[in-house]
Chain A
């Protein structure tokens, strides 16, 4: 009995020490919000095109029955990190053959048009989410956010924040490859 009690501080130290070790891991992001959408069907939505843009609007039906998984990117012209991310996404579309759809989140149409004219438009379709309601359906906590959606409409992957920088691009590339969202033979 006494030996048992004597061992307790050691057990407590191991438990708390293990917890602290886990907490100190520099790769752990305490702000990360677990997504409920992963492995769930993508939410139903139907968005009109951005007025003044020739790109058609976006609905859930556009994401399903594609040959390969597609990518949905939520962006806005007022979002500064989106500008940096735009170049990365464009490169994925042009060089790797990724299929990209956009949700223009709470953006003034004229600003969005100007932004896409300045930077180029890598999106096949863009839905205008003026009210932010579709954003809520996707469990959005901010822009940009990027999703990979399987051809049966299942959400496979979610990236919160801009896909910018070697680590983020690497993670995103891995996810694209795992999902099979890139055509065979493309990329390195």
Chain B
């Protein structure tokens, strides 16, 4: 049993492996940590739904090295991201920026929730209103009493 658990743990090891190779890492742990955070927000342009921090593609490695190089030169996080963005466009950002072209992307979910609340709420309200007792109009009142009277007359005979 113990061996089985051990084998299972060994089997999990590959999933913990990182794409970042030791020779890429910076000696300064603070800078390295910043590089890791930046890399997680940058899309690998080859394997398009992966961030460059976890991608083994050649371009991703080059971009990781570039990110670290810019950090060593003294760029701020935003400057590094801007540097990459200038070359690869908004597409390289995993979090799309908030700008007129992306308003639909950012606000559509909120809009849909609001529409849902509005429509759903409206339907519930109207249904509740139907349940409430409503006065019959005088015309309907007359028709109903007419029918009732006829029925009574029929019963009597």
Contact = CB atoms under 8 A, between A and B. Distances in A.
Interface of A: 1-2, 5, 8, 31, 33-36, 43, 106, 131-133, 135-142
A172 to B, nearest CB: 22
Contact of A34 (B66, B89, B122): B89
Interface string B25-46: 0000000000000000000011
Closest 7 CB pairs of A and B: A36-B89, A141-B45, A132-B62, A139-B87, A139-B88, A33-B91, A141-B46
B89 A139 contact: yes
Contacts of A5: 119, 122-123
A8 B123 CA distance: 13
Say what secondary structure dominates the interface of chain B: helix
A36 B48 CA distance: 17
B80 interface: no
Contacts of B91: 33-34
Contacts of A2: 126
A64 B92 CA distance: 28
5 contacts: A5-B122, A33-B48, A34-B89, A36-B87, A139-B89
Say what secondary structure dominates the interface of chain A: loop
Contact of B62 (A33, A35, A133, A139): A133
A2 B122 CA distance: 9
A142 B126 contact: no
B111 to A, nearest CB: 12
A185 B119 CA distance: 65
Contacts of A141: 45-46, 59
Contacts of B97: none
Contact of B59 (A31, A131, A140): A140
Contacts of B122: 1, 5
A136 B123 contact: no
